[in-house]
C-alpha cells in the first residue's frame, strides 16, 4: 500500500512516430523496472501488429518505482494509450484514470493533427500537462520554434518543456523528476467503501478476462467478492496484480493505485469499460459516470477467398471478439463472393488491424469489400433504419431521405501542399471551417462526409502531400444529403457486391470509374457485354466489353493433343471457379480489384 502523495499516474500524448513508445521504453529501462536482458522495443505494445506498424492499439500500463531526488520513492503508473483517432475512445477513458500527461512533440516537426486531438482530451480530463520535446539530438531540431508552436496551437505554457532524446536517453532523468514535481498526486479515501474504475479489459488465453482498474476510494484485496455496478454481475477475485509490465501479484491496491485482476470472467463483453467496481457486501453509494460505449462507424464485408474457409473465418472472428468488443459482425451472403461477414469497425485503421490479425493469426485469405459507413434511412412512414450495407437499401419509393455521418477533420500540412489538400477536401464534398497558419504549416479544419474519407482519403492525402500532412477527425453529426444507391449491372444483371452509396453529384464520376475498371477486369466472352452503373432504373455510366475476337491455338498436331487438351481442361476448370452472373462469368479477382478502387 502506497501513500497517495507518493503516487503519480500519467499518460503520454504524442503523434505517431514522435517517440511515445520509445520514451515509455526508456522510463521503464532507466528505473530498472525491467531487467536489461528482457528489454525489447515498444515494450508495452504486445501485439505483432503494434510493433510492426509502430502503433499502439490497446491501452496498457506499467508500474514504475522511482527513487526521486527528494529521497522518497514514488510509484509512477503509466497508462500507454493508442494515438490513432480510431481508438480515441480508448484514449478518453484512459485519460480518466490518470491525473497528468506528458505531451511529447518531435522537436523537428512540431505539433501534428493527432497530437492536437489527444491533448484536448487530456485538457478535458483536467490533466496537468508537461510538454516534452523529443529528438532534441537531431540536427533539424528547433526547440524554440516548437515551443512557440505548442503555445500557439495548443495554448499551453511550454517554457519549462523538458528537452530529451528518447533514443539516446538524454534528459530522461529530468522527465522522471518532472513527473514527480509537476504532476499532482491522486486523491482518495482509504476508509471509504471501494470505488474503482474499470479502465480496460482483455482476454488472456491462460487467465481468461483480465480487468485493469484504477482505485478511487477504498481498498481491494485478493479474494474479495466484488460487484460491477452497471452490469450488476458479482465475482470473486482470483488474482490481483500490478503490471511491471508483466503481472506481479500484490495483496491489495489502495486509492490512487492502478492494477489488474482476474475473476473467472468468460468474455470481454461481460465487462463494461468505465463501469464502477465496488464490494458486493459494502457497496459505494454513487457509481462513476461511466463512458459511452464505442460504436462501429465503418463497415465492410469480409469473405474467405476459399469458400471452404468460412467456418474458420467464423471461429477466428469469434475469438477476436473475445478481446475486442468494439468490433461487430453479422453473417452476409453475396452472389459474387459467397458466404462471409459484414463487420463493423471504429475506423479504417481498426478495420485494417482486424483484417491483418485474421489473415495472420488465423492464416486466412480474405476479400475485403469497399468500406462503407452507417447511413440513417428515414422512411416515409416515419421509421428510421440503420443501413450498414448498400445492398440492403430499401426501395426508393418508401424512402423519405437519407442522412450520412459527418466529421470534423483537422489537417496540418506544410503550406506548399495546402492547395492540393484544399482541392482534395473540396472534391470530397468538404466544407471549410477554418484555416490558420503556425509558421510555415497550415492547419485546415473541414466538415467532411465520413463516407468520402473511408474510401481512400488517407491514401490520397498521403500522396498529394508526399506524406507530410497529418490528419485527424472526430464524428460530428448525421446530416441529410442527396445520397443514392448506385448499382452495377453486368450484361443487364445487377452485381450486389458492387453496389455502393454515393452522393448524387459524385455518382457519374464513380460510376464511370467503376465501369471502366470492370471493363479491364472482366475477361472477354464470345458476345459483347454491356457494363452499366445505374441509380434506380436510370443508367448513368456505360461501357461495353467487346466480344472475344481471337482465341485459337495456331498449331495443333499429333504431338500437341495431350498437352493442349490438358490446358483447355484446366481453363475449363478455372471457369468453374468464376462467379456466374447470368451468362457472364466474372473471376473473383475482378471483384477484389474493382472493390479496391484505388484510383
* Cβ-based neighbour number of residue 339 at 10 Å: 16
21 is in an annotated binding site: yes
- Note the residues at the interface with other proteins (CB under 8 A): 524-527, 546, 548-559, 561-562, 564-565, 568-569, 571-573, 575, 583
CA distances from 433 to 112, 191, 443, 451 (A): 18, 51, 11, 19
Report the SS3 class of residue 571.
helix
Residue 367 neighbours by CB distance under 10 Å: 21
Q: How far is the CB of 589 from other proteins (least distance, A)?
A: 18
Find out whether 328 is annotated in a ligand binding site.
no
Question: CB-wise, 140 or 552, nearer to other proteins?
Answer: 552
Give the span between the Cα atoms of 199 and 257, in whole angstroms.
12
Q: What is the DSSP letter of 194?
A: P
What burial class does residue 68 get, using C-beta atoms within 10 Å of its C-beta: 0-12 exposed, 13-18 middle, 19+ buried?
Answer: middle
* Largest pairwise CA distance in the chain: 97
Q: How far is the CB of 571 from other proteins (least distance, A)?
A: 6
408 is an annotated ligand-binding site residue: no
Cell numbers 500484490 correspond to 250
Query: In terms of Cα–Cα distance, which of 34, 61, 36, 31 is closest to 46?
Result: 61
Shortest gap between Cβ of 546 and other proteins (angstroms)?
Answer: 8
Which of 398, 527 has the CB closer to other proteins?
527
Residue with smaller CB distance to other proteins, 433 or 568? 568
**Nearer to other proteins among residue 408 and residue 524 (C-beta):** 524
Task: Please state the closest distance from residue 547 (CB atom) to other proteins, in A.
Answer: 8
The answer to whether the beta carbons of residues 171 and 160 sit under 8 Å apart is no
Tell me: is residue 134 an annotated ligand-binding position: yes
For the CB of residue 520, give the shortest distance to other proteins in the complex, in Å: 13
Which ranges constitute the DSSP H helices of 272-330? 310-323
Whether the CB-CB separation of 369 and 595 falls below 8 Å is answered with yes
18 marked as part of a ligand binding site: yes
135 annotated to a ligand binding site: yes
Phi and psi of 5, rounded to 5°? -70, -15
By beta-carbon proximity to other proteins, the closer residue of 184 and 574 is 574
Smallest gap from residue 527 Cβ to other proteins (A):
6
DSSP 256: T
Nearer to other proteins, 53 or 525 (CB): 525
Q: Which residue lies nearer to other proteins by CB, 205 or 559?
A: 559
- Residue 292 or 572: which CB sits closer to other proteins? 572
Nearer to other proteins, 542 or 564 (CB): 564
Nearer to other proteins, 286 or 555 (CB): 555
CA distance 473 to 476: 9
Minimum gap (Å) between residue 587 Cβ and other proteins: 14
**Closest separation in Å from C-beta 543 to other proteins:** 16
First to last CA, the chain: 59
137 is in an annotated binding site: yes
**Phi–psi pair at 329, nearest 5 degrees:** -155, 145
| 262 marked as binding residue | no
For the residues of 201-241, what is the DSSP string, one character each?
Answer: EEEETTTEEEEEEEEEES-EETT-EEEETTT--EEE-SEEE
Q: Least separation, in Å, of the C-beta of 560 and other proteins? A: 8
DSSP, res 251: S
* Contacts of residue 257, Cβ cutoff 8 Å, sequence gap at least 6: 2, 7, 75, 77, 214, 215, 242
Q: Based on CB atoms, which residue is closest to other proteins, 433 or 561?
A: 561
Provide the grid cell at 18: 514522435
Residues 6+ apart with CB under 8 A from 584: 490, 491, 493, 522, 525, 529
How far, in Å, CA of 469 to CA of 442, rounded? 10
The answer to whether 130 and 179 have CB atoms below 8 angstroms apart is yes
- CB 373, CB 450: distance < 8 Å: yes
Give min distance, CB of 598 to other proteins, in A.
23
Q: What is the DSSP code string of 375-428?
A: EEEEETTS-EEEE--GGGPPPGGGEEEEEEEEEEEEEEEEGGGHHHHHHHHHHT
How far, in Å, CA of 441 to CA of 108, rounded? 13
Supply the minimum distance, in Å, between the C-beta of residue 523 and other proteins: 10
Q: Report in angstroms how near the CB of residue 93 gets to other proteins at its nearest.
A: 54
Closest CB to other proteins among residues 140, 573: 573
Question: What is the signed CA dihedral for 136, 117, 298, 42, rounded to 10 degrees?
Answer: 30
Nearest Cα neighbor of 75 from 85, 84, 91, 63 is: 63
Q: Which residues participate in the annotated binding site for GTP? A: 17-22, 134-137
Q: Which residues participate in the annotated binding site? A: 17-22, 134-137
Amino acid at each position: 500500500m502506497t501513500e497517495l502523495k507518493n503516487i503519480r499516474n500519467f499518460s503520454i500524448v504524442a503523434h505517431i512516430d514522435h517517440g511515445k513508445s520509445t520514451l515509455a521504453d526508456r522510463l521503464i529501462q532507466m528505473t530498472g523496472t525491467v531487467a536489461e536482458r528482457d528489454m525489447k522495443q515498444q515494450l508495452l505494445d504486445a501485439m505483432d501488429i503494434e510493433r510492426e506498424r509502430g502503433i499502439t492499439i490497446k491501452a496498457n500500463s506499467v508500474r514504475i518505482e522511482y527513487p526521486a531526488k527528494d529521497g522518497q520513492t514514488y510509484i509512477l503508473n503509466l497508462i500507454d494509450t493508442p494515438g490513432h483517432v480510431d481508438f480515441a475512445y480508448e484514449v478518453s477513458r484512459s485519460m480518466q484514470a490518470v491525473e497528468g500527461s506528458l505531451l511529447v512533440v518531435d522537436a523537428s516537426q512540431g505539433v501534428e493533427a493527432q497530437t492536437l486531438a489527444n491533448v484536448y482530451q487530456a485538457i478535458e480530463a483536467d490533466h496537468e500537462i508537461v510538454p516534452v520535446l523529443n529528438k532534441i539530438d537531431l540536427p533539424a531540431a528547433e526547440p524554440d520554434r516548437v515551443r512557440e508552436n505548442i503555445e500557439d496551437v495548443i495554448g499551453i505554457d511550454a517554457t519549462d518543456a523538458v528537452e530529451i532524446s528518447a533514443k539516446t536517453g538524454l534528459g530522461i532523468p529530468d522527465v522522471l523528476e518532472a513527473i514527480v514535481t509537476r504532476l499532482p498526486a491522486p486523491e482518495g479515501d482509504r476508509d471509504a467503501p471501494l470505488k474503482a474504475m474499470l479502465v480496460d479489459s482483455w482476454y488472456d488465453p491462460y487467465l481468461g478476462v483480465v480487468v485493469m482498474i484504477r482505485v478511487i476510494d477504498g481498498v481491494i484485496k485478493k479474494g474479495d467478492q466484488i460487484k460491477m455496478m452497471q452490469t450488476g454481475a458479482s465475482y470473486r477475485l482470483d488474482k490481483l496484480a500490478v503490471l511491471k509490465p508483466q503481472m506481479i501479484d500484490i495483496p491489495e491496491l489502495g486509492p490512487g493505485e492502478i492494477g489488474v485482476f482476474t475473476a473467472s470472467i468468460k468474455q470481454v463483453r461481460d465487462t463494461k469499460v468505465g463501469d464502477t467496481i465496488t464490494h458486493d457486501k459494502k457497496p459505494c453509494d454513487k457509481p462513476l459516470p461511466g463512458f459511452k460505449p464505442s460504436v462501429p462507424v465503418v463497415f465492410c464485408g469480409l469473405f474467405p477467398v476459399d469458400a471452404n474457409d468460412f467456418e474458420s473465418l467464423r471461429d477466428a472472428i469469434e475469438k477476436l471478439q473475445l478481446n475486442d468488443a468494439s468490433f461487430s459482425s453479422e453473417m452476409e451472403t453475396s452472389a459474387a463472393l459467397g458466404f462471409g461477414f459484414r463487420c463493423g469497425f471504429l475506423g479504417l485503421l481498426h478495420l485494417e488491424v482486424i483484417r491483418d490479425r485474421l489473415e495472420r493469426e488465423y492464416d486466412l485469405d480474405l476479400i475485403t469489400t469497399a468500406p462503407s459507413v452507417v447511413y440513417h434511412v428515414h422512411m416515409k412512414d416515419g421509421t428510421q433504419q440503420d443501413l450498414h450495407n448498400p445492398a440492403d437499401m430499401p426501395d426508393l419509393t418508401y424512402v423519405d431521405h437519407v442522412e450520412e455521418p459527418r466529421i470534423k477533420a483537422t489537417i496540418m500540412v506544410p503550406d506548399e501542399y495546402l492547395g492540393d489538400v484544399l482541392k482534395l477536401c473540396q472534391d470530397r464534398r468538404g466544407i471549410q471551417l477554418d484555416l490558420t497558419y503556425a509558421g510555415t504549416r497550415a492547419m485546415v479544419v473541414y466538415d467532411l462526409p465520413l463516407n468520402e474519407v473511408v474510401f481512400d482519403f488517407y491514401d490520397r492525402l498521403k500522396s498529394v502531400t508526399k506524406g507530410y500532412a497529418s490528419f485527424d477527425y472526430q464524428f460530428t453529426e448525421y446530416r441529410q444529403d442527396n445520397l443514392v444507391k448506385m448499382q452495377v449491372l453486368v450484361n443487364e444483371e445487377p452485381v450486389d457486391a458492387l453496389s455502393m452509396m454515393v452522393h448524387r453529384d459524385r455518382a457519374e464520376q464513380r460510376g464511370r470509374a467503376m465501369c471502366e475498371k470492370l471493363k479491364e477486369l472482366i475477361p472477354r466472352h464470345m458476345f459483347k457485354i454491356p457494363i452499366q452503373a445505374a441509380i434506380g432504373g436510370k443508367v448513368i455510366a456505360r461501357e461495353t466489353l467487346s466480344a472475344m475476337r481471337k482465341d485459337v491455338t495456331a498449331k495443333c498436331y499429333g504431338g500437341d493433343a495431350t498437352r493442349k487438351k490438358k490446358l483447355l481442361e484446366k481453363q475449363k476448370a478455372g471457369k468453374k471457379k468464376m462467379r456466374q452472373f447470368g451468362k457472364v462469368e466474372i473471376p473473383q479477382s475482378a471483384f477484389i480489384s474493382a472493390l479496391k478502387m484505388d484510383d
